[in-house]
Amino acid sequence: MCTTCGCGNGRDDPEHRHAANPLAPWSAPAPLDQGTRLVSLEVDVLEKNDRYAAANRTAFAAQAIQAINVMSSPGSGKTSLLVRTIEAMRGARPAAVIEGDQETARDAERIRATGAPATQINTGKGCHLDAQAVGRAFATLAPAAGSVLFIENVGNLVCPAAFDLGEAAKVVVLSVTEGEDKPLKYPEMFRVASLLLLNKADLLPYVDFDVEFALQCARRVNPGLPAILTSAKTGVGIDEWLDWIERGRTPRVAVAR
Ligand code: MG
Ligand code: ZN
């Protein structure tokens, strides 16, 4: 269960069947004396997640996998951007993708059409990826050593920010069809990010989106946050994004035999 947002999340249930969540916000309010229990449950969930995240980090490092957790609200163009990115990387570096959505394998299919391996996690009622599910998906996917592993999180600007997946970096995507003040409304997501991609730049002539104001909002919560204007349609910013990925490439870690 997601204790950050109160949704049901089948983290221990591969079938993604969910029992009614007694702590969900739409159920009757819990008696006051349960407050302590709620807080400790949230700590337990995040501590357990952190243990799986540490295991993922070790597994990624052993094969020089550079994992990048890509997060945004739904509809910001994450999948299209990844398709364009993978096409631009072709021949230079292997890429693989773990896709997170509540339902369907549509995004994984779009990635596989590029020739890159992809696997889909369906979270059912859950609204974020957690480290245990990502670890399982990674074992199934078995990307080539030295790959960039993009983890496209469930479209949601809230609780994905709280869950470490073992990634090397978190990237937040904000499209120019959204409000410039999203970073102020959802500060935690923009605070944990190492890079902001301002996506759908090709639409700038048609929308009232003030790039400078959006950057101000983002840097108010995360001073110095680097940002790149990108478009999957025109390819603007893709080279810069690839350079940023390359600079974060992790050296292969020697593994004891
Ligand atoms: Mg998608
Ligand atoms: Zn969630």
41: in domain = no
Supply the pTM of this predicted model. Answer: 0.84
If one counts the domains in the chain, the total is 1
* 141 inside domain: yes
Residues 235 and 84 sit within 8 Å (Cβ to Cβ): yes
Residue 145 within a domain: yes
In which region does residue 200 sit, left (phi positive, over 0), alpha (psi from -120 to 50) or beta (all else)?
left
CA of 3 to the centre of ligand 2 (A): 8
Class of residue 70 by CB neighbours under 10 A (exposed 0-12, middle 13-18, buried 19+):
buried
| Model pLDDT, residue 40 | 82
Looking at residue 13, its pLDDT comes to 46
Distance 10 CA to ligand 2 centre (A): 11
pLDDT in tens, 199-227: 999 999 999 999 999 999 999 999 999 99
Which range marks the domain in which residue 110 is found?
A: 47-247
| pLDDT score recorded for residue 14 | 44
CA distance 251 to 40: 38
Ligand that comes closest to the CA of residue 106: 1
The verdict on residue 220 lying in a domain is: yes
pLDDT at 30: 54
Region of 16 (left: φ > 0; alpha: ψ -120 to 50; beta: rest) is: left
> Considering the domain boundaries, does residue 5 fall inside one?
no
Distance between CA 79 and CA 85 in Å, rounded?
10
pLDDT recorded at residue 27: 47
State which amino acid sits at residue 108. Answer: A
Nearest to 197 by CA among 215, 212, 209: 215
* 178 in any annotated domain: yes
Q: Cβ(228)–Cβ(198) under 8 Å?
A: yes
**SS3 for 11-67, per residue?**
CCCCCCCCCCCCCCCCCCCCCHHHHHHHHHHHHHHHHHHHHHHHHHHHHHHHCCCEE
Residue 224 located in a structural domain: yes
Low-confidence ranges of the chain (pLDDT < 50): 5, 10, 13-27, 257
Task: Decide: 123 and 3 in contact? Cβ < 8 Å.
Answer: no
Nearest to 126 by CA among 15, 44, 14, 16: 16
CATH of the domain at 168: 3.40.50.300
**Could you tell me if residue 256 is inside a domain?**
no
Model pLDDT, residue 41: 83
Distances (CA, A) of 72 to 61, 76, 190, 193, 217: 26, 7, 10, 11, 16
> For residue 38, what pLDDT is reported?
77
246 alpha carbon – ligand 1 mean position (Å): 23
C-alpha 3 – ligand 1 centre gap (Å)? 24
CB 3 within 8 A of CB 38: yes
